[in-house]
Each structure stands twice: as C-alpha cells, then as structure tokens.
Structure 1
Amino acid sequence: MDPMEVDDGPYLSKNLTMEGLVTQVNFQRQKKSCRRATLCLGLLCAILLAGNVGQFLHYKLLPYLASEDQANADRLTQEDLQTKNQVISALTTERNHLETSLSNLTKDQNQLKTSYDSLVKNRDELLSSKKALTTERDELKADVKGLQRNHTRLNTEHDALQTQISALRADHGQLQARYDSLVKDKDLLQTSKTTLTAERDDFKSGFDNLKNDNDRLQRDYSSLRKTKDQLQSSYDSLVKEKDHLQTSKTTLATERDDLRSSFDNLKNDNDRLQRDYSSLRKTKDQLQSSYDSLVKEKDHLQTSKTTLATERDDLRSGFDNLKNDNDRLQRDYSSLRKTKDQLQASYDSLVQEKEILQTGKTAAAAERDDFKSRFNNLKNENERLQRDYSSLRKTKDQLQSSYDSLVKEKDLLKTSKTTLTAERDDFRSRFNNVKNEKDLLQINYNMLESDKKRTERNCTDQLKTSERLCELVKKLQQSQYAQLEANYNAMRLKNDMLQRNQSSLLTERQEMQTSIQKMTSKLNGLVCRNGWKKFGTNCYYVSTTKKKWNEGRQDCIRNGGDLVVLNSRAEQTFVGNLVGKGQFWIGMTDSAKEGTWMWVDGTPVTNAHWQSGQPNNLNLQDCGEILGKEFTDAGLLNDEGCSIEQEWICEI
C-alpha cells in the first residue's frame, strides 16, 4: 500500500468507540433529559470535528513533511505529486461534508431545544391550570356544603313553623268548641226566660180574674191594670230583645261559617307551603346530583393526572431510547443519522402530546367555565333560598304575633265564659226566687179567695175587718209590685250586660277577622302557586285553553282571583311581556253602559293604553283584551266581542 494513501477506517473506528467521552454524562436527571441529550450531541460533534482536524493534520502535514524529506533524499516524482493532490482534495471534501453535518446537527439541536422549551412552558401552564381548577373545585365543594347546611336549616325552621300552625289550629278548634258551648248556654237561658215570662203572664191573667171577681177592689184593679200595661210594654221589649238575640245568633252562625272558610283558606295555604317544601326537596336532589357530577369530574381530573404521569413515563422511556441512540452513535457514525430521525419522530410525538395537552387544557377550561356557571347558579339559588328563609322568618313572627293575640282572645273568652256562668247562676237563683214568689202569690191568691168568700158571707157585720183586709191586700200587692219592678230592673240590667258582652264579642270577632285577612293576604303575597308569575304583591296566571270572557272570569274566581286589572303602565308592560302569541281576555268591559269602560273591581278605566283607533265597538265589542307578541302593537289594549273564545289572564 502506498504510504500516501489515506486509510481513515481505523481512525474513524477509534473515534466512534470512545465511550468514555459520551457515557460519563448523566442523562437521567429529571426535567432536563432532552437538553442534556442535545448538549451531548453537540459535544460529540465537536469531538468528531477535532478528530477530523487531527486526522487532516496527521495525513496532510506529516506525509507532506515525510515526502519532502524523501524528495530531498530521493527526488520527487510526478506520480507522488498527483497522489498528494488527490489526498488533499479528498480530505477537503470530507472536511466540508463534516462541517455541513455539524451545521445541520447544530440547527437540529437548536430546533429541539426550542421545541423542548415550548413543551416545558406548555406543561407549566397546564400544571398551573390544573392547580387553579383544583382550587375552584374545592371552593365549589365548600359552597355546595354551605348550601346543604342552609337547606337543612331551612327544613328545620319549616318543620317548626308547621308545628306552630298545627298548635294554632288546635287552639282555634278549642276556642270554637267553647264558643259553641257558650251559644248553647245562651239559648238555654233564653228558653228559661221565655218560660218564666209565660208563667208570669199566666199569673197575671189569674190575678186579673181575681180583680174582676172583687168589685170592691176596683180602684186597686185599675192600678194593677196600669201595672199590667207596663209589664206588657216590658214584655214587648223582651220580645224585641229576643228577636235581636235571634238575629245576633244568625250573625254569629254566619261568622262561624266565615271562620270555617278562613280555616279552609289557611289549610290551602298549608298545602301550598307543603308543595313549596316538596320543591325545596327537589332543589336538594338537584344539588345532590350537581355534587355527584363534581365527584365524577374529580375522578376525570384524577384520570388526567394518571395520563400525565403515563406521558411522563413515556418521556423517560424516550430519554432511555435517546441514551441507547447515543451509544449507537458511539459505535457507528452512520447511526447518527438514524438517531436524528428518531429524535424527529420523538419531536413529532411530543408535538402530538402537546396538542393532546392543549386539547385537555381546552376541555379543562370548558369544565372550569361549566363549574363557574354551576357555581353562579348555586349562588343564585342560595340567595333565593335566603330570601325565602327571610320571608318565612317574617311569616313565623307574624304567626307568632297572631298566636299571641289568639291566646289573649282565648283568655278574654274564658273570662267572658266565667262572667256568663256567674250571670247564669244569678239568673237561676233569681228565677227560683221569682218562682217562690209566684208560689207565695198563689197562696195569697188562695187566701184572698177564701177571704173573699168569708167577706161575702160576713160583709155586713165584718166591714171593718174587710177594710183592714183590703188594706193588707193592697199593701201586699204594692210589695209584690215593687218586687216585680225590682226583678224587671235586674233583668233589664242583665240584658244590658249581655248586650255589652255581645258588642265586645262582635268587636273581637271583627278584629280576629281583620287579623286573619291580613295574615291571609300576607301569606298570599309571600309566594305564588305553581304556574303563576309574581309582580309586586300580586300573582298572575296565563291560561292554556280558550274560553269566552265570562267563562274565563269564572275560572279566575274559582282559583281565588279575577281577571287582571291593569292599574299602571308598568303592570301593563309586565303583562304584555308575560303573554305569548294571540289575544288574551283582561278584566275590562263596557257591558253595563256602552262607551263607559269599567274594571271588574268596579273602578273606571282611566289610564289604559289602547291600540290606535280603539275602542271602536265594532259588532258590539263589549269586552277588553291585550294583544300578543305577533302584533305590531303588542301589549296594547283592544275591544272584542265577549263571545269569542281565547286565552285569559288571572290576577290574585
């Protein structure tokens, strides 16, 4: 072999098997695997370049010096010069090729470094997003727990209110029973009074017969006649008082029916509160389902974390692959190109993983937005429950005040019952006294009859005795008249007392009725029934069927309200926004007097906003309607024939 011929195989083999220059780098440090692999590749390229430079010096300068010595010794030939030029050109070409490879590797290194930095940045962003989502999830869990505690507290207070309402109903039943017993006692006393009056009349008739038989007591008979007239007037007044008491009894029966209807209304309100409680239970179930979905999303995030850990293990395995590729580069220079391809494939996989992570980030952002929307919904629901809780608390205080007033009224009724019982006992004692006096008068009457017979037999010889007897009878009659007058005054005082008690009971009944109406109106103002919409203190309902004006109004009345009365422009705007397409009956008509429009509550229509050119009374249009949303004049009023069937709007 010619000494000038280039034989770089052993040198390349030696350079590519220098394992100590490559394997001493620690490739397994966390989070810097790709950067260190790139650095190792750069060092390897630098070592290769240094080897090529050394090879160039070894094969260019040393042979050149040796050939120069030999030429000086033996003389150069033309063939040696050609061989030298060929070696120089081959080394130059190889050097250029190696420089080109080095520049390509440097560019690949920079690209891989840039890609790695972007991936690290994206990974940090994803980790920060994950932490933010975890924090938001914990906050949402805390909010859900707070809402559950508030819901439990509301249920407890609702049960307490239900217990108080039951106690009020029981007290109301007891008061009603006591009131009925008092009415029965009053009826019994009235019957006794009537019987006593009849017996008194019988006694008077017997006493009058006695006076008719006794001609000598004509003057006394006249005075008794006057007394009879006075008693007759008293009897007439008692009859009038009896009629008045009968009227009062009828009024009290009517009031009892009103109280029963109020009780039914309270029962209906209780049913409505029960439905509200059911809706709260449904809300609780919805919150529970939201909590379950949050748990599922937590599991999904845990799965994402596991996926990221798997991807991290994949990156570590890629790092091991890079290390193996580096070992193959040490064994063979030609495997460097394959390593570049593998790095390119790894880069593509990292780009795909980046896209996957970006997709996961987008999904996590969407889930975060969903969490935020759910949190806002839960927050709004919590605020609504808080408002409902405040209204229920106010209702509880109102019911407590009503309960206290009912307790006071119960005590007053107990006092009135005690007074009436004492008066009844007093009346019975007086009745017994009057009965005893009647028996005494009957005995006196019998005695007078016997004395009359004796005086008729012994009239001539016992005139003085008869005169004394007449004086005694006169005194006795005067004493009896005074006693009867005292009894009459006592009965009149008792009647006045009963009248005052009746007036006080009527006043208390009116106050109780007023408090019940206020409480009912407040309960109605707290919450609207299902399907009704609230505006101000009123509730509105839009029908789903079509009927005539009168039939629609009857349906509203059956539901406890009437056709809607528009008292303001704001209310008309609200009703206009409430309806859909079509024409809807409202509580307005001029059927009583043509051209004079009146609301169903009896007030005139003064502030209504009519459609242009309306009302025109075309074909006897006597009922009012509001136009739906498909009209250009939506929300304005129009007159229509009352027999047309269309939807209607109720108001409570």
Structure 2
Amino acid sequence: MEMSENIYTNIDSIFEGDPCGRRAANRDEDINEDSIIFQDSRDAAEDDDTCMGRPAANPSGSKSLGRRPSRAGDVCWGLLCVLLLAGIISLGFYRNTVMNSYKDNLTKEKNQLETSNNNLTTERDQLQTSYKNMTKKRNQLQVSYNKLRAKSSQLQTSYNIMTKERDQLQTSYNTVNKERDQLQTSYNTMNKERDQLQTSYNNLAEEIDQLKTERDLLQKRFSGLKRAGPKGWTLFQSTWYYISSEVKSWDESRQDCNERGADLVIINSKEEQTFLTNLNKRIWIGLTDKDKEGTWKWVDGTPLTTSYWMGKNPDNKMEEDCAEISIGPVEGNWDDFSCATHLNRICEQKH
C-alpha cells in the first residue's frame, strides 16, 4: 500500500514541477473537449518542441508542419497515460493480494488463539479435577492421622506402665549392685595390700639392680679416667671434651677428632648444651644434613630430636649443611653454616 501511494505522489510531483507536463495535460483536455482553435495548436506545438529539446517550428511554414509535432506529442502522452493506468491497475491487484494475505494471517492467528483458549480450558478442567482428587485424599489422610493419634495415646499409656515396672526393676538392680560393690571394695582392699607388698619387693629389687649398675659404671669411668686426660682435654659429667685453639673446616675438624680417638660432640642433654654455651666460642658440633637436605643427623647416624636453633634457622641460605654453636642464649644459639667455614671445634670422647 505504501508503494502505491508513493507512485501516486511521484506522478503528482511530475505535473506540479514540470510546466511542459502541465501544458500537455491541459492540451489533452482541450482536444477532448474540441474547444481549441488552430492558433492554440501551433503555440502548443512550439512549446512541445521546446520541451523535447527540438528547435521551434518556423511560424512562416506550412500548416501541416505545425500540426504534425502536436499530434506526435499527443501520441507520446497517450502512451504515458496508458502506462500509468497499467501501473495503477497493477498496484490495485497488488493491494488486493496484500489485503487477502493480511486477512488470511488474521484468520490463522484467530484460529490459533481459539485453539490455545480451548487447550487452556481443557487444562483448567483437568486441574479442577486434580484439585478435587487431592482434597479427597487429604480428607482420607486426615482420618488416618486421627486413627494414628488414637493408637499413639494407647501406646503412650502402655509405655508409662512399662516405665513404672522398669523403675521397680532398676531399684532391685541397684540394691544388688550395692551389695556387689561392697564385696568389690573388700576384694580391692585385699588386692591393694598385696600390690603394696609387691611394690615394696620390686623397689628393693630395683635398688639392688641400680646399685649394681652404678658400681659397674663407676668401675668403667675409673678405668677411662686412667686412660684419658691428656693435655687440652676437659672432663664434664664423666665425658672428656677437647676444645681446639685453632680453626678448621667442619670436615677437617671431624677428621682431627677421629685422629684423637673421638668425634665431633653430640649434644644429649640441656646440661651438656649449657656446658658448651659457657665456653663462649663459635664451635663446630657433630650435626649435619649433607646426606639429605633438611634431615639433620648426628655423626653417629641418630636423627635430631631435641634442638636449640637460633631464630629461623636452619635456613640453608648458602648451602649451609653443618651446625655450629654460636655465642648466644642456651635455648637458641645453633646456626647452620657452610661446612667450608673455619671455626673452632669440640671433640667428645665417651667411655
């Protein structure tokens, strides 16, 4: 529809904007009404020639030459009118086709809406039926619930009776238990006296064993004291320690200790840690993680259990795989250090 209206608008603009077109249309009306005189026809022919781009006819020429261009223009405008009429008829047919298609679409949509309405009505009826069925089931469940409540009350009564009987039995059981506990107390008292006698016997046996052990240790220490005690060695708690005056690497220090029949010190107690700290020297001890990074072991292969590391050590900043006692508090003066560093050493000789 919009296309046909645009065409009509373009046709009107042609007649409004083109003076030649207006004159041609006016001339056609004059010819159809037979009210034009010969002179007007000549003027119209001259105007047509001007609009067609041809030179105007000589006014002094023959009458036949003046009439021929006017008829040719009439034929052209007639053909143009026929073409416009054919276009208008085509647009009319196109409009009818579009209108019929639009009506068909409206009909289809109406039918679809009616179908949807029928489906919704059916679903509504089905939901209504389901609602009624659910209401019926709810009522049946309510009846069942009431029956269960009645049974629950009966069971509660039976439970109360059973509870009373249980309490009576519990009282009888407590009486029997009380008598049993009295007998158990007497039995435990006798066992306790027997255990005390056994403990006294065991204590005497342990004291005898300890005395024998101490005697053997004293004999060994006495023998060790006879063998040890060269220059530079110090005795602490029955163990001899050699404190070097010169500095060496960790490996050289251990080799020196081995040559002296000893090894780098292994710290087994806080008293020993305090003794070594009081020397106020940086000294190598027999602790390393050379075999596996982070797993510290003493030189005799035993793992480290009690440590006295300083701060966040060991930190292994520069391949620090050997341990030293630095100058500091007893509770934290161990430091991991490069094994190639030269420090004092302390050798330990056990008997």
Q: Which TM-score tier does this pair reach, normalised by the shorter chain?
A: 0.3 to 0.5
TM-score (normalised: structure 1): 0.19
TM-score (normalised: structure 2): 0.35
Please say which structure displays the higher CA radius of gyration.
2
